[in-house]
Chains A and B, each alone.
Chain A
Amino acid sequence: MDCFRMIFQYFQSNSESVMNGICGLLALASVKIYTSFNFSCPCLPRYNMAYGLGIMFIPPIALFFCGLILNRQSLMMLEEWRRPQGRRKKDTAVIRYMCFSIMQRAMVAPIVWIVVTLLDGKCLICAFSSSVDPEKFVGFANVSPVQVQQLLARVPCKDDELMRNNTSRKAVSRYLRCWSQALGWSILLILIVAAFLARWLRPCFNQVALLQARHWSNYIDIEQKIFEETCCEHSRLFAHKCILHFFESMREEIKLHSFNLPREGEGAEGEEDLLRGITDQDQVNKLLKMWYYEKPPLDVNQVTQR
């Protein structure tokens, strides 16, 4: 548990870490969704391609949008981009930096999905089983063209009655899976080499501008957080003053109605101070009724001026 707590605290320590954490979680979620998804190739001539390629490309797009939505920085970047200039200039380098880092993080989950799909092989087998050359495989070589299309389309379905004992089916499957896994590993290798080169060579190109952009994008993030916290704090104080003022005005009204002499100062202490002059069931009811029917105006000027 200690280990988990440390990891949790590390990720919460700054917002970049939080975003990296979310990125990682989304990548794990994408693997989990793929493994729990019940892939079921239709094994029909035109539907196979649509289904196979659909499963390979539509979920990554959805995951990409999820990555953008869950990333707080994307909202910040848009706000910074669209805000009026005002008295603070806009730095396009900062906006570009934020955009780039958002895109990088959002791309991780889709790439993980595509790589896992290719390494597993089912999608490609389903999509391209009708496109293999039947001459290469003994079982399909001497069949009429129409029939061969039907048969090849059924290759991904192991339990299909026509395909159950067909050895050529396994040959086509293995062939396509080999291509699929080769493609998967190649893509993984290219991406990792690209990431490695990008990180290694970055300091060679304009490191100063990068440091500045990173600093100011962190600053915008922190400024936004502090503004929200200050607003919360302010509204709490505002509400407190408003309510105290309300209770005071009720006390004044009660005094007015009872034509009482002003209280001899025993010192407002303890319980009486908390009672704020409301000491009767009907007074309490009246206070609650006033609170509902006639909320006081949002103006604590009289209170602060006292």
Chain B
Amino acid sequence: MERHHNSAMRTPLNSVAVQRRSKTKSYRLSYRSGIGAASRLGFTPGLTARRLNTSRKAPKSNKITEKVTKEQLALLVKTEWKLSYVTPLYQFRHTQLKSYSRQLSAFIAAEKQQGLAVDVEGTQNHFRVSFSLVQEMTESVDDAVTVLIQIHSKPLIARQDEPQRPVWSGWLTCINGNPEYLRSLPKDFICLPLFCSSEAGGLTSLVKSWFQQSFDCCFGPLEISHTSLQWLMALWTNCQPESSIRQLKMIWTLPVEPQLQVTYTVDAEDAWQLWSSVRKENTAGEGEENSIDIEEVMSFMQGLKGHFFRHFRLDLSAGRLNEVSTALGSAKHSGRIKFSNSKYMITTLMLLTECALLKMPI
């Protein structure tokens, strides 16, 4: 992850191409030059802007509850999600969800019983898939609407009237994605770079391969980097006055033999005090642009590590932050996240969308 981080920061700053005037050949340029193609697609500073922001808005409690339906929200909040990044979907239509539901359920049925053809139109399927939109869960006009996928299944031995149980759910989202990147994509592409799935019964891989075959996209695992975890700690702690985080819990692993795992818990009030002490004067005001800087996050971390060192003579800088959790949510380096409070979900999703876009190959 670190390696990737490095390299991502070194991606070309500016995109330039040697272009031929010749019309007959010009099409070749789209795969002629990486930087060339990028610029043709308007990526000019695109590749570069794709690094983790060094400054972001402080989380505001969001009125998400008013917009998103209760059932959807309950689902989004109660589950621990496994994260993936997805390259832009080709010819995905938000208006075709009904037909996608049918196709995906037929696909799952076919995959579950290899070598048996399945009628797409039929409804006799054991699995029922539903695609739905999570309206209004967007931050900017460029964001595509979030898509929620749920799979229900009927137990094999079931009474006629027994309702179908939900067995899997997942969603594709893009919250405040880099507008330059999003606008640079041709119209045929819908960018929903963040895929969250609940793991159950190997359905995740089936859903992924259906998406791959239907929209020519690729799924890759999305880890939450060290830096992102630190960002989450700061962002969550910043909410303390409005909504108690109860406690700030970190799990560190230290590279010693045998491996040492440190669980470090800080009381909410103490964390808040430390956080307010590192907040810069000018931004601490209640002004419109209440933004947080990476330096502040770093000094916050420094403060936490220093405190730990004074007590245990153990420098956490040598270790790796694996997991953070508060009452607002929890996040793991392996790419698992849980939102416990819907109010601050958007901020977290913005950070994750950024991470996912960082992973885009072009």
Is this pair of chains taken from one and the same complex?
no
